[in-house]
């Protein structure tokens, strides 16, 4: 079995203005670094299909779906603002369906055993999108949709979501707050967008706020002391990763201090849990990461571990 990358050219067509940090150049930067690292020929490339509306509606309300679908501008070059950070262009709905479709297709392939794990190089990202509304650059919550698919279509009884973006995955937390089948573990810079109030650690939500300038040593300690005990207790049958790389020290979108080696280390810990309880089954989806060189290098570090090419 192998690692696959799911993506599609439609994910490059979504844009929110030339000034916007969540830009098509993010995927281009990843492709460039894969070529430089000579990984492009070692990892299978798969085309992301369009998600069905049924896939979206497992996690989102009809109103949330309609808000994106029905407000896409008819004319290329026009924008429809959803909030101060998030807009739709003519191609946004198609791109969002590809992003969610990648996560669903990767889930199917990993569960079927045709690949060992997958990385979805897609945009728009997803982890801020709540069940009722898009926000924070995110239209549909790709990881949450995939997790729902794994449980409702494939019958998995326990899954885990690991989120290492610098921002709190508030949409994912909202989706699964009362769902004991899903464990969410994360860290996030606090106080910081989306300005979520820290919540108590529970058996199903281990979302740990950290201060600005927190570095790899801080993150590794919380992973060992808080994430790993929760993951071992939950014994997930599949793990999904919200892979945001904006906690990198070079990324001025946030204020943390991680480097590529930290992302590789986190990925190794997650893989060890997946091998113990989940037959190695992992689907990782791109979230943040806005300093293009750091983003590309960090994705390469993540992929090398997933593909066991270190």
| Average per-residue pLDDT for the chain | 98
Q: What values do phi and psi take at 189, rounded to 5?
A: -65, 135
From the CB of residue 8, how many other CB atoms can be counted at a distance below 10 Å? Answer: 23
Question: What pLDDT score was predicted for residue 40?
Answer: 87
- The tens digit of pLDDT for each residue in 283-296 reads 999 999 999 999 99
User: Structural domains in the chain?
Assistant: 3-306 (3.40.800.20)
Tell me how far apart the alpha carbons of residues 30 and 293 are, in angstroms, rounded to a whole number.
8
Mean pLDDT, residues 156-185 taken together: 98
Mean pLDDT, residues 64-78 taken together: 98
Tell me how far apart the alpha carbons of residues 54 and 219 are, in angstroms, rounded to a whole number.
37
Mean pLDDT, residues 203-213 taken together: 98
Burial (CB < 10 A; 0-12, 13-18, 19+), residue 104, is buried
310 pLDDT higher than 90: no
**pTM over 0.85, yes/no:** yes
Question: What pLDDT score was predicted for residue 1?
Answer: 67
Tell me the pLDDT band of 41, cut-offs 50, 70 and 90. confident
301 pLDDT higher than 90: yes
Residues 183 and 270: beta-carbon distance below 8 Å: no
- The tens digit of pLDDT for each residue in 103-150 reads 999 999 999 999 999 999 999 999 999 999 999 999 999 999 999 999
Mean pLDDT, residues 9-38 taken together: 98
- The tens digit of pLDDT for each residue in 214-254 reads 999 999 999 999 999 999 999 999 999 999 999 999 999 99
Tokens (6 digits) for 283: 């689907």
Tell me how far apart the alpha carbons of residues 280 and 259 are, in angstroms, rounded to a whole number.
25
Question: What pLDDT score was predicted for residue 187?
Answer: 98
pLDDT > 70: percent of the chain: 100
Could you give the residue numbers annotated as active site?
128
Burial (CB < 10 A; 0-12, 13-18, 19+), residue 83, is exposed
CA-CA-CA-CA dihedral for 215, 182, 82, 5, to nearest 10:
70
Mean pLDDT, residues 82-108 taken together: 98
Q: What does the H/E/C string look like for the chain?
A: CCEEEEECCHHHHCCCCCCCCCCCHHHHHHHHHHHHCCCCCCCEEEECCCCCHHHHHCCCCHHHHHHHHCCCCCCCCCCEECCCCCEECCCHHHHHHHHHHHHHHHHHHHHHCCCCEEEECCCCCCCCCCCCCCECCECCCHHHHHHHHHHHCCCCCCEEEEECCCCCCHHHHHHHCCCCCEEEEEEEECCCCCCCCCCCCCCCEEEEEECCCCEHHHHHHHHHHHHHHHHHHHCCCCEEEEECCCCECCCCCCCCEECHHHHHHHHHHHHHHHHHHCCCCEEEEECCCCCHHHHHHHHHHHHHHHCCCC
> Which is nearest to 277 in space by CA: 157, 143, 151?
157
Tell me how far apart the alpha carbons of residues 295 and 305 are, in angstroms, rounded to a whole number.
16
Pairing mode, strands 182-189 and 282-286:
unpaired
Mean pLDDT, residues 280-307 taken together: 98
């Amino acid at each position: 079995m192998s690692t696959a990358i799911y993506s599609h050219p439609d994910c490059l067509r979504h844009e929110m203005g030339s000034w916007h940090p969540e830009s098509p150049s993010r995927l281009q930067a990843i492709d460039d670094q894969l070529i430089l690292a000579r990984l492009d020929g070692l990892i299978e490339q798969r085309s992301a299909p369009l998600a069905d509306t049924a896939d979206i509606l497992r996690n989102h309300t009809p109103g949330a779906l309609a808000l994106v679908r029905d407000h896409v501008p008819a004319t290329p070059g026009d924008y429809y603002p959803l909030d101060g950070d998030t807009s739709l262009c003519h191609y946004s709905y198609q791109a969002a369906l590809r992003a969610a479709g990648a996560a669903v297709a990767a889930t199917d392939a990993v569960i079927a055993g045709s690949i060992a794990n997958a990385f979805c190089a897609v945009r728009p990202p997803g982890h801020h999108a709540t069940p009722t509304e898009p926000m924070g650059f995110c239209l549909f919550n790709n990881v949450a949709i995939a997790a729902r698919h794994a449980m409702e279509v494939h019958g998995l009884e326990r899954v885990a979501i690991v989120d290492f973006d610098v921002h709190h995955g508030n949409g994912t937390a909202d989706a699964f707050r009362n769902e004991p089948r899903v464990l969410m573990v994360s860290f996030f810079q606090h106080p910081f967008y989306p300005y979520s109030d820290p919540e108590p650690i529970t058996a199903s939500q281990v979302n740990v706020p950290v201060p600005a300038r927190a570095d790899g040593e801080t993150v590794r300690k919380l992973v060992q002391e808080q994430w790993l005990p929760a993951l071992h207790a939950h014994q997930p049958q599949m793990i999904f990763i919200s892979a945001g790389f904006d906690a990198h020290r070079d990324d001025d979108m946030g204020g943390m201090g991680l480097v590529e080696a930290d992302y590789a280390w986190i990925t190794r810990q997650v893989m060890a849990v997946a091998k113990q309880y989940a037959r190695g089954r992992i689907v990782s989806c791109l979230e943040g990461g806005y300093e293009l060189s750091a983003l590309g290098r960090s994705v390469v570090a993540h992929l090398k571990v997933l593909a066991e090419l270190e």
